[in-house]
Structure 1
């Protein structure tokens, strides 16, 4: 047996094309884009070419793309930046988020609420992928409202109804931010969908460099900066730009979008076959959000009769790299707020997320299913004997 990496929703290896695109900006073309001499001008030109490339991939205008240091920063800048822009005249905005948001939005929203910066509304999400929009309609009717709903959930792969939400937000002149980190390269994504004013993406989920991200800010959408000290990125994200990172990210983004349709077909076939094997070999297993539209790359399973952390550790010892959900919880073993929101606090099933990538093979998944069955059987026997 060989080690199998099935945690691509956490991070991905950098593509050779991306490394090649970045290489000149890690050596001879090293100038600061803000400098006026030839080294600076070359760096600035490369940065703007990267902006053009990223904008084209998302069907946006180059002037609507802000480069950041990652998805978490983009989420914070989009959500807090928009709320603070609204509050500059003393208005207290409402922020509506789904119950399954990434911590970058979920924790940011709760922190801002605790400081009195906004009123927080949480929109229930159901296992079939539907979102309870009644609280959102009420909020939109009652005053300035910012809405942040992710496009694809990072823990379960559930696709949320962004087109429907976008139309509702646009109708009521609200602001919609969507975290598209797990959507880009997996499903069709366009910044031109009605209602979308702000959109987050990052590089390391699509075979690009870590520490790179962007925030799409629709023209005429006002946001306030979170950081100060420079005029870079329209003075909304000050600090010397990472030219190599931006070039690598834009290259990865263009490739991911161009290859998305073909990749999705292959990944869906592999994922479905894997889940079929698991269901045939293991009892008391649930495909989390199996009735929803899902990302082709994520299989989230609920498994009864085992401890989640022991399960992940045992799989790792057998050479299978998976996770229990978000990799951004810094190794936390606390229960997932996403699973609680979907299945209730009394749910006792262990959650394990298998996330496939462009190099995942059928052989990898046959091995993973067999190892999972062996590990679950062993852990259940140990639990029964204790």
Structure 2
């Protein structure tokens, strides 16, 4: 048996190095190289290599059909909006989020709706047993005959199950628990995640099966594993939400079949995730009237406008250096807007602490909200409600 070779992989970009370095020469990130043992390429084999490969010939661009493939449309309108109109056959979708945020709940409900369309669904769980998945299904009132569950972490067994069953929809929960026997490193490592994702991509493209995979996130909020993982898949979705709020936001950061600016909003209840059709109502339902530092602004997220509340609190600083904190928007925009107010509007804000927040846990990056942030800061500094401030400015 050949001795395993030690290679250092970068967790950010997947760069390979024969020795450890403090800084990755490819992505220039510090302390991202980890040690892994890999076998020789001659000893490794690809999953599904026993299948005969069809050799393709180059085609003229005019000969290629541009007809759009029919999407699988579910009853979850929020998910359909984020995906660009529905599930694309043969697509590989990656869903990331904090632990306990509801990723498995969302995918189990999605599997149930796809099974209701008389389509076979294979739900593979590497973190829970069949009994645990059954208990969650009973809580969510999911009991479709076309929904099959399987607790397995070996990639070869997973591929064999897909070949035998030939399902119309597959869920892998999660990619960090799946391993390939040909890779000697531990499950969840850079090599395992890369090889398993590549094999699943080949299965999705060759058979035309949409595959949804779950990815863990790091403490910084990014999907764990190499950055190459996000480049390999077709769509990357982030499932976000605050711990003390029941609302969950599904955001698309990469989508080869649709827009990346769409956002879906759900509410976590006892029976599972429930769609929120009117997000403006939930974002403004607890808003107090006549309070200084509060401004309502219309923000366009994708194709849907939403009314959100910008809250600002300005107070004298107790230290030599004033603080600038922002939640739900870019931190660097608050000092810039306060500098504009101090230079052009004559507001002395250099000795004031500023705390700006977007209510409801939503994150906004639209430049149109800068006016609402500036008005909220000025309203809190003057201690006047926003409506009165706007009337004074008109006069």
TM-score when normalising by structure 1: 0.32
The structure in which a higher percent of residues are strand is 2
Structure whose CA Rg is larger: 2
- Greater RCO, 1 or 2 (C-alpha within 8 Å, sep 6+): 1
